A and B are shown apart, each in its own frame.
Chain A
Amino acid sequence: MPDTPDPRCRPQPPHKGLPAEPYDIEAVREDFPILSRLVHERPGRLGKPLVYLDNAASAQKPRAVIDAMTRCMKLEYSNVHRGVHYLSQQTTDAYEAVRDKVQKLINAASREEIIFTHNATEAFNLVASSWGRKTLGPGDEIILSVLEHHANIVPWQLIQAEKGFAIKVIPCDDRGILDLDAYAALLGPRTKLVSVTHGSNVLGTITPVGEIIRLAHAHGVPVMIDGSQAVTHMAVDVQALDADFYVFTGHKLYGPTGIGVLYGRKKILAAMPPYQGGGDMIASVSFNGTTFREPPYRFEAGTPPIIEGIGLGAAIDYVKTLGLANICAHERTLLEYASVRLAAIEGVRLIGTAPGKAAIISFVIEGIHPHDIGMLADQMGVALRVGRHCAEPLMERFGLEATCRASFGLYNTIAEAEALVDAVLAVKEFFR
C-alpha cells in the first residue's frame, strides 16, 4: 500500500498569485493554543498535526478568550445584578459591557435589544414560545426555508402542535440558492412570520436576507434571522437589514459554549410575555401576582452565563481586532482554493455552489460513504463533520443521506486546504 497517492492523480494546484494574506496567519495561529497540538498521538506512534476543518460546528478559542474567562474566575467572579458588594458590582459591569459589545457588533439601535441566551437554539425556542404562543393560531402561516438547521424548525413544530398554524417552506435550486419568486408567492395575508437562515450550515449559501426582509415587511410580516453561520464570516448590521429578530451563538464566533444572543426589535420585545420564570426577570413577586422587568431582563431568568458572557466579549474584541472584512477575505481565499482543488478530483461532487458562499464546503465521493471518509480523514489529522448536519430536510432536498463538510475558520491555511485534498485522495485510494 503506497502511503501517498499516485502523483499523476493529483489535480494541479491553482496558479500562484493567491491574494496576499490580510493578516499574519502564523501569528494568529499562535493565538489558538489548541492548534499546535497533535492528534492520534500515543507511545510508538507519531501524532498528526491537527487540521481543524469543523469550524461551522464549533470554532476553537483564542488565548484572549481563555484568559478572560480564567481571569474572571480567578479574580473578578461573583453573581451579577443583585449584590451590593465590590465584586458583584465589578462582575456586573464587566458582564453588562458585553451587551454593549454585542450591540455594536451587530449595530443594534439599543442595548436593551440584546438578550443573552444559552445558545442559538434557545433563542429560537424563546421567540417560538413567547412571541409564537401569543401571536400564532389556526389559519396562520409562518415561512421557513429548506436550508434551515433543526434549531429553526423544531421549536416552531412544538408550538405548532399546540396552536395549529401552518409552516410553509421556501425551496432552493440545485446550487443551494433560495427561490425568491417562490418565497414571494408564499407571502400573503395569512403569513405571520418569516424565519430564515443568513447562512446555510451545510451548503454555505449566504441568503439575501435584506431582500427577504423587504418583501416580508411589504406585507407587514416580521422576520427572524439565524445568523449563526453569518456573524463569523461578515459584518452584520441589523438596522440596515431591518431585521426584527437576529440570532447567533457564541461558540462559533470563537467564544465559549453556553452563551448565545437574541436581538429583538424593541417594540416587539416590549409586547412579548416572559419565556422562563425565576429570579432576575421580575420587578416584584408576591403570592398574589408577579410583575416582570422590561426587556432584555424579562427574558433572562436565573443566574446568567456570566463567565461565558465575559468570554464572548473577549471573542468579539478578538475578531474585531482582526477585522471581519479581513477574516472574510482570508476565508474566501481558502474556500476558492479548496473548492477548485476538490472539484477537480474524479468522483468528488461539491454540494452547494452558490456564489458568495461562506467558507463551508459540503461534498460527497462517489461510492464512499461520508462516515468512512470522515473516519479515515481523521486518521490523517483532518477533522471533518460528516452526516446530516442537523438539516435533514435539506439532505432530503438533495437526495442525500449524508455529506462530508469542511468548514474553514479565520486561522486555517492553504496548507490545511492541501491536507484536506491529500486526505480525500488517500481515502479514494483506500477504497479503490
Chain B
Amino acid sequence: MVQDPFGDLRDLYQEVILDHGKHPRNHRHPADATHEARGDNPLCGDRITVYLRMTTSGTVEDVAFVGRGCAISTASASLMTEVIKGKTEAEARVLFECFHDMCTKEDADSHSHGPVDEDALERLAVLAGVREFPVRVKCATLAWHTLAAAMTGGLKATTE
C-alpha cells in the first residue's frame, strides 16, 4: 500500500473545509451593513473585509465577508458567518474566545469564558486541526479578529 502523500494534512483539510474554501457562504458585500472592518495577514497575503448589520440592541442581523485567502482562512470566514448570525455581540465574543482556545490549546475548556453555543462550537471544531500547525492559526482566526474589530467599530484588524 502506498502512503498518501498528504496523510498528515487530512485532519486539517477536511471535506467541510475544502467545501467552504471553494464555495464560501455569505461571500458578498451587503449594502446595508452598519459595521465593517478589514483584516490583513501579511504573512500569507490574506485580506478580508467583514460586514455586519447590527440591531440597536446589539444583535447580528446579517454578516458577510469579501476577499479570498487560503482554504483555511476562507473556510473559517464562511463558517463564522453561519454561526454568528442571530447572536448578540457578547455571545459572538464568547464564541470567538472559545474558538481561539480550540485553535491554540490542546485541552481547551469551552466553559472558561461563560455560557457558549455548544452546537456552534461543534461546527467550528473542523478547524481545530490548525493546532498542529502554528503558522496556520492566524489563517483560521483572521476572520474572527476582523469580526471583533468590526463590532468594536475599528477600521482594520491584523493578525500580526
**A residues with CB within 8 A of B:** 1, 3-4, 40, 45-46, 367-372, 375-376, 379-380, 386-388, 392, 395, 400-402, 426, 430-431
Q: Are A370 and B45 in contact (CB under 8 A)?
A: yes
Complexed CA–CA distance, A395 and B71 (Å): 20
CB proximity of A367 to chain B, nearest CB, Å: 8
Question: Closest residue to A367 on the B side, CB-wise?
Answer: B22
Q: Are B70 and A372 in contact (CB under 8 A)?
A: yes
Q: Are B6 and A376 in contact (CB under 8 A)?
A: yes
Q: Are B44 and A402 in contact (CB under 8 A)?
A: yes
Residues of the B chain whose Cβ atoms lie less than 8 Å from the Cβ of A376: 6, 9
Given the known inter-chain contacts A375-B133, A375-B136, A386-B44, please indicate yes or no for A369 contacting B69, CB distance below 8 A: yes
B2 at the binding interface (Cβ < 8 Å): yes
Could you give 25 example pairs across A and B, Cβ below 8 Å? A4-B2, A45-B3, A46-B3, A368-B71, A369-B68, A370-B44, A370-B45, A371-B69, A371-B72, A372-B70, A372-B71, A372-B72, A375-B136, A379-B5, A379-B6, A379-B7, A380-B6, A395-B45, A401-B45, A401-B46, A402-B45, A426-B5, A426-B6, A430-B6, A431-B71
Residues of the A chain whose Cβ atoms lie less than 8 Å from the Cβ of B5: 3, 379-380, 426
Chain B 11-28: CB-based contact to A (< 8 A → 1; otherwise 0) = 001000010001000000
The residue among B6, B72, B74, B136 with the most chain A CB atoms within 10 A of its own CB is B6
Residues of the A chain whose Cβ atoms lie less than 8 Å from the Cβ of B72: 371-372
Taking A45-B7, A369-B71, A375-B136 as known contacts, 17 extra A-B pairs with beta carbons closer than 8 A to each other, sorted by chain A number, are A3-B4, A3-B5, A45-B3, A46-B3, A368-B71, A371-B46, A371-B139, A375-B9, A375-B133, A376-B9, A387-B43, A388-B42, A401-B45, A401-B46, A401-B68, A401-B69, A402-B45
Question: Closest residue to B67 on the A side, CB-wise?
Answer: A401
Given the known inter-chain contacts A369-B71, A371-B70, A371-B139, please indicate yes or no for A379 contacting B9, CB distance below 8 A: yes
Complexed CA–CA distance, A217 and B86 (Å): 66
Residues of the A chain whose Cβ atoms lie less than 8 Å from the Cβ of B9: 375-376, 379
Complexed CA–CA distance, A387 and B42 (Å): 8
Question: Closest residue to B46 on the A side, CB-wise?
Answer: A401
Complexed CA–CA distance, A376 and B2 (Å): 17
Residues of the B chain whose Cβ atoms lie less than 8 Å from the Cβ of A368: 71
Residues of the B chain whose Cβ atoms lie less than 8 Å from the Cβ of A367: 22
Residues of the B chain whose Cβ atoms lie less than 8 Å from the Cβ of A395: 45
CB proximity of A386 to chain B, nearest CB, Å: 7
Residues of the A chain whose Cβ atoms lie less than 8 Å from the Cβ of B69: 369, 371, 401
Query: Could you say which of A45, A379, A387 contacts B45, with CB atoms under 8 Å apart?
Result: A387
Chain B, range 129-148, C-beta contacts under 8 Å to A: 133, 136, 139
Complexed CA–CA distance, A426 and B13 (Å): 14
Given the known inter-chain contacts A376-B9, A430-B13, A431-B18, please indicate yes or no for A3 contacting B3, CB distance below 8 A: yes
Complexed CA–CA distance, A157 and B19 (Å): 43
**Which 8 residue pairs are nearest across A and B when measured between Cβ atoms?**
A402-B45, A401-B45, A369-B70, A371-B70, A371-B44, A3-B2, A372-B71, A372-B70
Residues of the B chain whose Cβ atoms lie less than 8 Å from the Cβ of A426: 5-6
CB proximity of B17 to chain A, nearest CB, Å: 10
Complexed CA–CA distance, A1 and B18 (Å): 15
CB proximity of B90 to chain A, nearest CB, Å: 33
